[in-house]
Amino acid sequence: AKVGQKKESKASFDIDLKDAIDGQVVTRFPPEPSGYLHIGHAKAAVLNQYFAEMYHGKLIIRFDDTNPSKEKVEYTNAILKDLELLGIKGDRITHSSDYFQEMYDIAVQMIKDGNAYADDTPQEKMREERMDGIASVRRNRTVEENLQIFEEEMKKGTEIGLKHCLRAKISVDANNKTLRDPVVYRCNLTPHHRTGDKWKIYPTYDFCCPVVDSIEGVTHALRTIEYRDRNTQYEWMLKALKLRRVHVWDFSRVNFVRTLLSKRKLQWFVDQGRVAGWDDPRFPTVRGVRRRGMSVEGLRNFIIAQGPSKNILNLDWSLIWAINKKVIDPISPRYTAIENGIELTLEDGPADVVRETRPKHKKNADLGDKTMLLSCKLLIEQDDADTLSEGEEFTLMDWGNAIVTKLVRKDGKVTEIAAKLHLEGDFRKTEKKLTWLANTDELTPVEIVTFDHLITKDKIEEGENFEDYLTPETIFTSQSVADLNVRDLKEGDVIQFERKGYFRIDKAFDGKKAVLFNVPDGKVVSKYG
């Protein structure tokens, strides 16, 4: 076998898939349609796409829809949309349910070969027997008896059928507990969102995954590391069922501090009304982080950077936001916002407002120009004003230097301030470069929103309940005024406010105000966390 040429790509990691043949690799991303995609799923999706592209192979998007109690069409559509947001398009879109008949036939053959048996041991007792390495009393049923129960009772969802499951006959007491006769089929009378009430039995993940991987021509199945114990079982299934071999490649799960990555838990926040929806900016969903200002490229770079690591990680969010910052910084136009402003009178400033143009980004002319207003009435931040003293020379950013001519202070706070331009002064020599705006009726009110994590604990341990660690307050709003150019920004635009950070427009200016979300930039100690 020959390893394929790596695709030219900015972000790449040095790792190969075993026995990969260029042009013949098939990977698959198998989400269960039981919620929206989160950043952990994004990792799996991006890695599968990465390898498919690297080897000029194919990527299958497979909806793993074998549990009708949890799945809905709504989620299938949402997941396709999420993948589109990530720039991921499979070569084929399939469903595990496409293979219900084939899987059923394979299970029948499995029984005929003496590799499976029907068991009605109550769940609790089955668990105990499995723990203790004790054989089920049903383990030695005859093929005829097993077939009769599977085909006549379980398949029809009868009372007797509902009490049964089908188990692979692998081992009673293997050290690897995943080999202790795992369940391969069970009954469920809930109608399936695609097949309706045609089926009353459904394959388990342990059976469905190897079988469908093999049927669909998957060459390399990527699985998160906690399934590693199951790899032997996966291979056993393929061998016992006489199916084509598939390579399994383990990768690490990604976790973030103070973050829940589980569709079920995220659903709880949605149901409780603790978030506005699956695209809430506090959510680690693909939609949530995008809304918060994560770029697709930043997310992908982050995932590829994590690529080969097999450690289970509990990452700090600052890592991914720092990677994102590298992507957005060169393309984010610069604007100005003033929070808690005080008027500064510029004694020799223009009496009538002057309109000038400035580049939106000093190092990226492609972004074009913006309008800058000059006036004799300016607005600067109170906090900045409080640091100044009479006679001090400072810089008005993108205009020039000025010298404080008058300063009235009350209780340490500046209440009145005037200055004179000193445009021949050297801006490199001043200590303070202040942001400012012409105080005109073209100032644009903006609401700036910052967020905290939904839970207070870095990692919720086994046995702990996340509901005991909810952060009481997670949304913080403040009001500022911005330059007039901000009126033209559209929802989704990402910008920088000079000296403040990066922001994403969540609601464009509506005549009254615009709403902007702060985009974290990876600085660990930040007002905006």
Catalytic residues: 32, 253, 263
SS3 341: strand
Report the site for Mg ion in 459-498 (rule: CB under 5 A).
Answer: none
Q: Considering only CA atoms, which of 296, 291, 411, 404 is closest in space to residue 344?
A: 404
Residue 306 Cβ, how far from ligand ATP at the closest point, in Å? 9
Nearer to ligand ATP (CB atom), residue 261 or residue 305: 261
Q: Considering only CA atoms, which of 458, 488, 457 is closest in space to residue 470?
A: 457
User: Is residue 253 near ligand ATP by the rule CB under 6 A?
Assistant: yes
Binding segment (CB under 6 A) for ligand ATP, from list 26-34, 186-194, 419-427, 510-518: 26-34
| Residue of closest CB approach to Mg ion | 32
What mask of x and - would describe binding to ligand ATP in positions 50 to 89, judged by CB under 6 A?
--------------x-------------------------
Residue 262 Cβ, how far from Mg ion at the closest point, in Å? 6
Report the site for Mg ion in 419-448 (rule: CB under 5 A).
Answer: none
> Total residues at the site for Mg ion (CB under 5 A)?
1
Tokens representing 3?
A: 């390893």
Nearer to ligand ATP (CB atom), residue 208 or residue 482: 208
Nearer to ligand ATP (CB atom), residue 46 or residue 514: 46
User: Is residue 40 near ligand ATP by the rule CB under 6 A?
Assistant: yes
Nearer to ligand ATP (CB atom), residue 172 or residue 313: 313
Quick one: DSSP state of residue 9? -
Q: Considering only CA atoms, which of 420, 340, 418 is closest in space to residue 383?
A: 340
Cβ(518)–Cβ(449) below 8 Å: yes
Nearer to Mg ion (CB atom), residue 205 or residue 503: 205
Report the site for Mg ion in 29-68 (rule: CB under 5 A).
Answer: 32
Residue 41 Cβ, how far from ligand ATP at the closest point, in Å? 4
User: If contact means CB under 5 to 8 A according to the sort of partner, which of ligand ATP, Mg ion, none does residue 82 touch?
Assistant: none
User: Is residue 31 near ligand ATP by the rule CB under 6 A?
Assistant: yes
Contacts of 51 (CB under 8 A, 6+ apart): 17, 20, 25, 27, 57, 220, 222
d(CA 97, CA 80): 17
Residue 296 Cβ, how far from Mg ion at the closest point, in Å? 24
User: If contact means CB under 5 to 8 A according to the sort of partner, which of Mg ion, ligand ATP, none does residue 213 touch?
Assistant: none
Quick one: DSSP state of residue 149? I
User: Is residue 453 near ligand ATP by the rule CB under 6 A?
Assistant: no
Question: Of the candidates 20, 25, 26, 44, which one interacts with ligand ATP according to CB under 6 A?
Answer: 44
Binding segment (CB under 6 A) for ligand ATP, from list 36-44, 314-322, 383-391, 401-409: 36-44
User: If contact means CB under 5 to 8 A according to the sort of partner, which of Mg ion, ligand ATP, none does residue 41 touch?
Assistant: ligand ATP
Measured at the CA of 65, the angle between CA 63 and CA 70, to 5 degrees, comes to 125
Binding segment (CB under 6 A) for ligand ATP, from list 81-89, 196-204, 253-261, 383-391: 253-261
- Provide the CB-side half-sphere exposure for 461 (13 A, CA): 1
Residue 157 Cβ, how far from Mg ion at the closest point, in Å? 24
Element (H, E) at 271: helix 263-271
User: Is residue 224 near ligand ATP by the rule CB under 6 A?
Assistant: yes
Nearer to ligand ATP (CB atom), residue 465 or residue 477: 465
> Total residues at the site for ligand ATP (CB under 6 A)?
15
Q: Backbone phi, then psi, for 240, in 5-degree steps?
A: -65, -35
Residue 64 Cβ, how far from ligand ATP at the closest point, in Å? 6
Contacts of 239 (CB under 8 A, 6+ apart): none
d(CA 7, CA 106): 38
Nearer to ligand ATP (CB atom), residue 74 or residue 343: 74
User: Is residue 254 near ligand ATP by the rule CB under 6 A?
Assistant: yes
Tokens representing 320?
A: 């991914």
Tokens representing 241?
A: 């069922």
Nearer to ligand ATP (CB atom), residue 75 or residue 517: 75
Three-state SS sequence of 447-494: EEEEECCCECCCCCCCCCCHHHHECCCCEEEEEEEECHHHHHCCCCCE
Element (H, E) at 379: strand 377-381
d(CA 436, CA 379): 5
SS3 259: coil
User: If contact means CB under 5 to 8 A according to the sort of partner, which of Mg ion, ligand ATP, none does residue 253 touch?
Assistant: ligand ATP
Nearer to ligand ATP (CB atom), residue 64 or residue 384: 64
User: Is residue 263 near ligand ATP by the rule CB under 6 A?
Assistant: yes
Question: Of the candidates 261, 322, 403, 418, which one interacts with ligand ATP according to CB under 6 A?
Answer: 261
The CA-atom distances, in angstroms, between 307 and each of 12, 13, 296, 302, 427 are: 9, 7, 16, 9, 45
The CA-atom distances, in angstroms, between 365 and each of 31, 245, 495 are: 42, 54, 15
Which residues contact Mg ion (rule: CB under 5 A)?
Answer: 32
Which residues contact ligand ATP (rule: CB under 6 A)?
Answer: 30-32, 40-41, 43-44, 64, 223-224, 253-254, 261-263
